[in-house]
């Protein structure tokens, strides 16, 4: 069974690739977790973030946006003291701020999922040059557009490159390579 080359290096990456990466997500809490993990990833390897995910879930109330939006300075300090988390105060504060913005989007759109999928009319985006491996990108017009819209709504730490990675993770962009066993997944 062949998979995207980035996922071959470690069993944790393999499991993430095989079971999560690129699977279309419609549950709001999964979207919030994915956005939050991307915020935490800035400057780190994805493997590092995955290794810390369980600790991050515990520290951030299993990424319930309603719970995280209520966090205060004491919660920031509590998270910084937690074992196994990414201890960046700026990133922790960004996740909390993003939870508040996330809830405003939910209020306006009914669900965050409805909002985020509206950018593609509910369709998974596939780029033939990406699947062929002839073009590697870290951002595109879609991620530029979504990043700008998220920022206008009060989100932070979500530039176009981070948003592109998020869109891949939640299956809005299917960037599995053509030889990958997951390339034709919905």
- Measured CA to CA, the distance from residue 138 to residue 183 in angstroms comes to 18
Catalytic residue among 19, 27, 33, 38: 38
Helix %, strand %, coil % of the chain (to 5):
60, 0, 40
Query: What would the pLDDT profile of 1-28 be if each residue is shown by its tens digit?
Result: 899 989 998 999 999 999 999 999 999 9
Query: What would the pLDDT profile of 111-163 be if each residue is shown by its tens digit?
Result: 999 999 999 999 999 887 666 666 677 899 999 999 999 999 999 999 999 99
Query: What would the pLDDT profile of 61-71 be if each residue is shown by its tens digit?
Result: 999 999 999 99
- Measured CA to CA, the distance from residue 181 to residue 63 in angstroms comes to 30
Residue 46 designated active-site:
yes
Catalytic residue among 46, 71, 117, 164: 46
Catalytic residue among 16, 71, 117, 164: 16
Q: What is the CATH number of domain 5-174?
A: 1.10.340.30
Residue 16 designated active-site:
yes
What are the residue boundaries of the structural domains of the chain, listed by start? 5-174
Its pTM stands at 0.94
């Amino acid at each position: 069974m062949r998979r995207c080359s980035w996922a071959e290096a470690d069993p944790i990456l393999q499991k993430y690739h095989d079971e999560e990466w690129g699977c279309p997500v419609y549950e709001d809490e999964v979207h919030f977790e994915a956005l939050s993990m991307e915020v935490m990833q800035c400057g780190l390897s994805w493997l590092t973030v995955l290794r810390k995910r369980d600790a991050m879930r515990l520290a951030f109330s299993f990424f319930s946006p309603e719970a995280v939006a209520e966090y205060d300075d004491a919660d920031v300090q509590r998270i910084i003291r937690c074992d196994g988390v990414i201890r960046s105060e700026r990133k922790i504060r960004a996740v909390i701020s993003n939870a508040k913005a996330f809830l405003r989007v939910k209020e306006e759109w009914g669900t965050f999922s409805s909002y985020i999928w509206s950018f593609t009319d509910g369709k998974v985006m596939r780029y033939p040059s990406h699947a062929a491996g002839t073009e590697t990108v870290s951002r595109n017009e879609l991620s530029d557009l979504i990043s700008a819209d998220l920022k206008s709504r009060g989100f932070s730490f979500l530039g176009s490159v981070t948003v592109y990675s998020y869109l891949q993770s939640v299956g809005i962009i299917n960037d599995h390579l053509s030889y990958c066993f997951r390339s034709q997944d919905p």
